[in-house]
Amino acid sequence: MSSEPTWHSTTILAVKKGRKLVVMGDGQVSMGQTVMKGNARKVRRIGEKGEILAGFAGATADAFTLFERLEQKLERFPGNLQRAAVELAKDWRTDKYLRNLEALIIVGDATSLLVITGRGDVLEPEHPIAAIGSGGNYALSAARALYEYEDDAEKIARKAMTIAAEVCVYTNSNFVLETLDV
């Protein structure tokens, strides 16, 4: 067992409802029992025209490396997020350097919502909601409970992330939100 403090992720939530995709993340970065930063930006737009929303949980430098690789795949497979994600996952699983990267990614565009993992998984959630990170299960549960009662994807995301921030000590309420009309 390592004596180094454990880095804890974050909470990233994606909700697709109606004609809107929302990806939202908190800003907390924790190491052990210490909050190292409270305003990290873990949600962003990627793609040539910013047509893809992405959020990450895990090591920041690793996530940026993966975002760069995903953008390269999107250049190779323009307009095909699923194909680009599968190609990234293959590289991530098999490449000696990439295999050591520690992050999870949620990406979404007008047609897809995906979770990409370092084990080579590209998961399309059963419901139009996905969450990752330390508070991911809290945010996912809250969003699923709110989904049939609320018509606005942004309201669902905000309420669910607020609940996650109240329950998970590794999640704060310094939220970053990106929306995409789909």
The residues assigned a catalytic role are: 10
Determine phi and psi for 47, rounding to 5 degrees: 95, 165
**Residue 178 three-state SS:** strand
Q: What is the C-alpha separation between 139 and 136, in angstroms, rounded?
A: 5
Determine phi and psi for 114, rounding to 5 degrees: -135, 150
Q: What letter does residue 125 receive in the DSSP assignment?
A: -
C-beta neighbour count of 36 within 10 angstroms = 13
Sign of the torsion angle spanned by Cα atoms 95, 81, 181, 125 = negative
For residues 98 and 113, the answer to whether their CB atoms sit within 8 Å is no
Q: What is the C-alpha separation between 31 and 140, in angstroms, rounded?
A: 23
Q: Which two tokens stand for residue 119?
A: 């084990």
